[in-house]
Structure formats: C-alpha cells, structure tokens
Amino acid sequence: MAAPAGLWAEVRALLPGAEQGLTLALSGDVEDCVRLLLQRARGLLCGAAGRPCAATAAQLRRLGDVLRDYSWEKLNAGPWREVGKAWRQVYAYGCLFGALAEVAAGRPLAPAVRLCDMGLLMGASVLDNVLARLVRVLQAHLPRAERRGPAAGTAEVRPWGGPAAGTAERVRTDHPSPVPVVQLEDALPHLQCPSLEHFRDNYLIPQKPVVLEGIMDHWPCMKKWSVDYFCQVAGCRTVPVEVGTQYTDEEWSQKLMTVSDFINQYIVNKNSMGYLAQHQLFDQIPELKEDISIPDYCCLGEGEEDDITINAWFGPEGTISPLHQDPQQNFLAQVFGRKYIRLYSPQDSENLYPHESQILHNTSQVDVEDPDLVKFPNFRKAAFQSCILMPGQVLFIPVKYWHYVKSLDISFSVSFWWS
C-alpha cells in the first residue's frame, strides 16, 4: 500500500528537492563503501517522480537497515566519547532513509517514529536536524490512540501540588513513605524573586545554596504538565529509561522504551523502579521545551545560552540520586511532586567518602539516610542543609556542592547546568 499523497508530500517537503541539495556531508572519515551506500539511497529517494514505488521503497528500506547495522557496530565499539561524529551522522541517515521507506510503503507510522527517535538519541544532526522535524509530522498523522500509547491504570489521583500539577492522573494510590523532617537549623533559606544583583552578590559569588520562589510561576508547564499530558504529547516516543532505585545499585541498568510504556510500568503499576533521566528530551520533543524558560540568573554565568544543559527528571516516589556533586552550577526546578534534598559543602568532601573508582569519584559511598558510622565515622562531622522542594520552587546548587535527592511523590523536575 502506498503512502497517502498528502503525507508523502508533507514529508518530502522537509528535504531538498534536488539530489545535489541533499549533500550527505559527514564530519569525518568513513569507508568509501559507506559513502556509496549513502549516495545510492539518496539517488533512490530523489530519482523517483512523486512517491517511490513499492520496489524503490523496499530498496531504500534495505539500505537504511544496512547503514544502521554497520554504524551501530561503530557506535558500540568503545567509549561513547571516542565515537566519531561522522559515524553518528551515518546512523542518523540510516534512520532517516528507513523512516522515509516506511512512509513511502504506506506502513504503520509507529516504527517510523521509533526510527526517528533512535536517530535523535544515538545519531548526530543531519540536514538541519531533519529527524526532529520529520517526527513531528509523523506524530501528527498517527491515530490518536497510538499517539498516547497504551491506556494507563485505573485509580484517578493528582500528583502532590494540586491544580498546579495539571489535570487528574491515572496513577497508583498506595501509601506514601514518611516525609523526612527538615530541622529549622538545617533548613535552606528561601527567597522570593531576588534581583540579579542580590542573587549574584549573596549566593552566586559566595557559592551558597538557596531556594528561589516565584521565578517559574509563569512557565506554561506549571499549568499544563501532568502524567496524562506526557501521554498525550509524547506517549509514542522512544526514550532511555534508568532501571533501578539509584545508579549505584548493582542491578541498575538502562533501556529504551516508549514514554507510555514507562508510565504504565513504573508510574502506574510500579512493577519495579524506573526513572526517566534524559539529557536530550527537550531537543527530542520540542513541544516540552516550549513550556519552560531558562532562569534569568543564568545570564550571570560565563557561557552562552547554547552552552546551558537542560535535563529532565521524571519518576515515581522513592527514586534516589545518591549523594554526588556536579561540575557546573545547577538550578533544579520542581514542576510537580516533592523532593527531599540534602546539601553538603565541597569543604566536607573528605568526610563524605567519595568512591575511589574514577567512574564514581563524584559520588559518596555513604547512604545518607541510613549511614554506616562504623565504616564511615567521619560522616557525622559533615554539616548539611536540607529542604523539601515543592512545585514552583527552584533550588540553586552551587558547582561541586554535594547533593542527595529523593522523590517523595511522582515527580517531574527540570535542571539547568551552567558555568
């Protein structure tokens, strides 16, 4: 069955019209045979007048498979930082040609959406980030039920925070765990919309953590975002999920799954513990990025706005980020749910017993809420500050400040790392 003419025209309009315009430029060297495969796929795509016929679509699909399989081996041959950008671009082209072949052949669109997501996650941008533009078109043409993914559970409740969290959710309703007590002498200070100068002089320069209030009240996410909203906007999208309570656990792992499957398995039914910790979510799903704003205080940093890393943290009650430190300043913005957060100064690093291994050198060996003081006796010397971060609050975590984070409810946070 051929693709509907309107959909194919909409998809084809995302690409250059002529073969010479589809440059296939690569940022590095790859084998000549790979370049020939790319050129052959380009020729099939651009050589057909109108929609490719079934035979041409099948050839394009096979070429996409070969390009993805070959480059996938290169992507997984060693440490990710050593993977050449050219091979990530080849993988993105393989995903692009595969997705286009699915559309041209009139196949169901969900596999094409997944191919786009795989290219966005594992590949590098090609043709002015065409995969991000393509997936938005495809998602709009999916049947409504497929856009959301499988239906979620049965119990209707709201995340902590009431109306600010959005519409009613279908999530589990078991008893929440006890909320840690924040003693007055340990409580972090709170500020209501401080001026740039006041924040700079009293918190940024002296590197003191503080909870900021009122600075994200105008963000659209505060009225729109909810578990149900994510199913509507991104239910069919494939994302990486961290499986396990915390990344230091032996059983911790990562896997790819759709947002709706993640919500059903880890949020609604909670068959096990899983967390969506995504450094690319807002690039992968721009609709979500439009609902947040970079805090104005980031302009006090040394880098440009493009240098700011925006991360998404979405998971059930009980997920934990063990005591660790990050190499940049951090604004942690709480959209819905509550988090218990404990902070320790970098001056106390020796009392926090960082792991000796290079890969975990920024993480403490100590279980903050149940420390083994026989094994880690100096931990009792470390002074800390803490807070229950509520929806609409933003925590400033200075660079290298140790922080422990525990979700007290179904929670969605956005962090901004800046220099």
Please enumerate in sequence order all residues whose Cβ is within 8 A of that of 397, keeping only pairs 6 or more positions apart, or say none. Answer: 209, 326, 329, 330, 331, 332, 343, 403
CA separation for the pair 388, 340 (Å, rounded): 5
> Between β-strands 210-213 and 190-192, what pairing exists: parallel, antiparallel or unpaired?
parallel
Mean pLDDT over residues 124-135, rounded? 94
Q: Which two tokens stand for residue 8?
A: 């194919």
**How much is the pLDDT for 49?**
63
Which of 95-109, 276-290, 311-325 bottoms out in mean pLDDT, i.e. has the lowest?
Answer: 276-290
pTM to 2 decimals? 0.85
CA separation for the pair 32, 157 (Å, rounded): 57
Inform me whether the pLDDT recorded for 21 exceeds 70.
yes
**How much is the pLDDT for 151?**
52
Q: How many CB atoms lie within 10 A of CB 140?
A: 11
CA separation for the pair 260, 152 (Å, rounded): 8
CATH annotation of 184-232+273-418: 2.60.120.650
**How much is the pLDDT for 237?**
94
Residue 342 gets which letter from DSSP? E
Residues 289-320 have pLDDT tens digits of 999 999 999 999 988 888 999 999 999 998 88
- Mean pLDDT over the full length of the chain: 88
- Residue 42 has phi, psi (to 5 degrees) of -60, -45
Which of 179-183, 235-239, 294-298, 302-306 bottoms out in mean pLDDT, i.e. has the lowest?
Answer: 302-306
418 vs 155, more confident: 418
The residues spanned by each domain of the chain are 5-142, 184-232+273-418
pLDDT tier for residue 161 given thresholds of 50, 70 and 90? very low
- Residue type (1 letter), 263: I
Q: How many CB atoms lie within 10 A of CB 300?
A: 15
- 131 and 89 Cβ atoms separated by less than 8 Å: no
